[in-house]
Amino acid sequence: MEPAIIKVTVANNGHQTVESCDVNVYIDSDELDPLTVTDLGVGESKIVEFNWTPQKSKTFTLVTVLDSSDAVSEENETNNQLTEQITISERTVSMEIYKKSETENQTVASIKVSGVVEYRQCNGYDVYISLDNLEAFEVNAIGETTNWSVTNNTLFITGYEFNKYGEFEIANITFNKTNNSISAIILECALSDSNGYAFNEIFTSNKIVNLNSIENIVLDSNVSELVNESTLETANNGEFNVTKIYFNNSDSIWIPETVENISITNETLNAMNEAVSNLENIDFDSITSEDDVSDIVDEIIDNMVVVSNYGFNITNITQKTVKDGNNAVSELRFTATNTSAKGFSIIRLPVGDLEISEIVVNNGTVNKTLEKDDIDSTSGWYRIPVEGILEITLIKDPEVTLTFSSALPQTTSSSSSSHSSGGGSSYSSDIADDIESKTIKNFVSSATVLFGNGIDEQYAVQLREKVTDANGYTISGNAVIVGGPNANDFAKEYNEKFEIPISNENPGENKGVIQVLKVQDNSGNIIQSYTIVYIAGSDRYGTLAALEYFKTLDELPEGPITVEWTENGPVVVE
């Protein structure tokens, strides 16, 4: 694994200079080489750095001890030890075999590695590839020392003594074809760095696949005839294989191989087709209010189809739709209970043109956002296999929350720049009309309103029409942050500087906080002072509560204001 640096800050809170103090760090049962801090003045702190190379991904117990021999006479001997849990996970790198070119009799394949960082370059590899209807004719591999051989239809390639990072090819292979139905599957692989340490997290992807090589998935004979074999793919994310099967009708199914003997039958295809047909049962064009959207979501639930299921029960399906500015926001929830040690469930919903804002799964302890097409995830993913169809794949047994958004019809009115001469204030024409205070209007007018994802953008435009994506934003003036640190990079940068940092647990369900922070920008020749207003909650309803209450304020608050979303709207939490 990659070497790590553990930084320990040692502070002198006493009333005399410490001439010398030993610092010991213990990781589980192992002690690192001790270091010494010298000449530590009163009120002074120094940082010492320990070098450590973890041997595997896991959670370690780290104990730091100062002055273990009691060599320093202290007023307080109880603050010399700190125990923390640290979780180490190795950076994932990828290896992929794919078809580079093809003739009637030959196929040229390439093995590509990606995700290797510059400070830990790749120096060696071993790859075992299972072949079907292919004979290795020529292998061009990188490295000062290379070799290849074939035994029992398994091609072995090895190479060492090179330095590469980023994305690079390690081998190009020319195969003679003995049949047009071919496959080349990575069975095993190893990568090592220049220090000889192995890369332990390798994601493999195979793009030369035939039906014979998919050993754990059984397809009915008539189903096999509908498969577009040239587009088959398999991958391994470190815990299980994922097989991508594409059909001639442009539909597809991605199977997580968490159990053995998976079947793709006529019933599977019928379920896939049923979900597509169910789109015609729902009228997505007659939306005039949030009630219409609520009715549509009810119909989506009624037309939900389980395409493939091994060991899961789907229960407690509910939905709630609320009006949020010019949008209707719906939350559809259900519980997916895994009744076996392993399994998966693939569910399709006919969502039409409803915007998918977020899909969150909660396993009882933490929330995790499912990402589109993210087969690296061992919790699950979502995708759009056919236009208007949302397909969710679940591996764990979480509570699932889907958030949809739909724009509501709105009446438009002309707007012009507004001014107030009495207080010497002015504000832009795109400021929301329901902000009554001239002070708040002036501040929002002077500020960049920042959002991090789609749902927060919908909230942000309720302050002003002109809003900015927070990703990559550097402060250059007053700012309003809408949304918390999970989705908003700018919020993540400043979150801990506010009196109440925002997390999934703090301030709590349906609660949000309005906070103000003064910052200084020292990057230029002139020191600039800016104001940041932070409007964020533990969930979307918390953010909405904080935003709606912010619009009712007369002045920027001096301290944090915690607000909760209720059936009657935002309510201040005393």
Confirm if 346 and 393 have CB atoms less than 8 A apart: yes
- Give the chain's residues under pLDDT 50: 411-426, 524-527
SS3 570: strand
User: Is 515 within 8 Å of 485 (Cβ atoms)?
Assistant: no
- Measured CA to CA, the distance from residue 144 to residue 379 in angstroms comes to 41
Task: List beta partners, residue 436.
Answer: none
Whole-angstrom Cα distance, residue 364 to residue 334? 14
Copy the structure tokens of residue 5.
């640096």
Does residue 375 sit in helix, strand or coil? coil
For residue 76, the model assigns a pLDDT of: 58
In this prediction, residue 224 carries a pLDDT of 92
What was the pLDDT predicted at 132? 95
User: Tell me, what's the pLDDT at 527?
Assistant: 44
Tens of pLDDT, residue by residue over 468-504, are: 988 888 887 889 999 999 888 889 989 999 999 999 8
Residue 75: per-residue pLDDT: 56
DSSP-based three-state secondary structure for 167: strand
**Domains of the chain as residue ranges with CATH:** 4-88 (2.60.40.10), 93-262 (2.60.40.680), 283-407 (2.60.40), 418-572 (3.40.50.12090)
Q: What is the pLDDT of residue 352?
A: 92
User: Do 51 and 5 form a contact (C-beta atoms < 8 A)?
Assistant: yes
Q: CA separation (Å) from 39 to 9, 21, 81? A: 14, 9, 20
Residue carrying structure tokens 């640190």:
485
The partner residues of 331 in beta bridges, in order of sequence, read 320, 403
Residues 28, 33, 36: CA angle, nearest 5 degrees = 120
d(CA 187, CA 204): 9
- Whether the bond into 507 is cis, omega within 30 of 0: yes
The pLDDT value given to residue 91: 83
525-534 pLDDT, tens per residue? 444 678 899 9
* 473 neighbors 489 (Cβ within 8 angstroms): yes
Establish how many alpha carbons lie within 13 A of residue 26's alpha carbon, considering only the half-sphere containing its beta carbon: 10
pLDDT of residue 417: 35
State whether residue 275 is helix, strand or coil. Answer: helix
> 0.75 cut: is pTM over it?
no
R_g (Cα) of the chain, nearest Å: 29
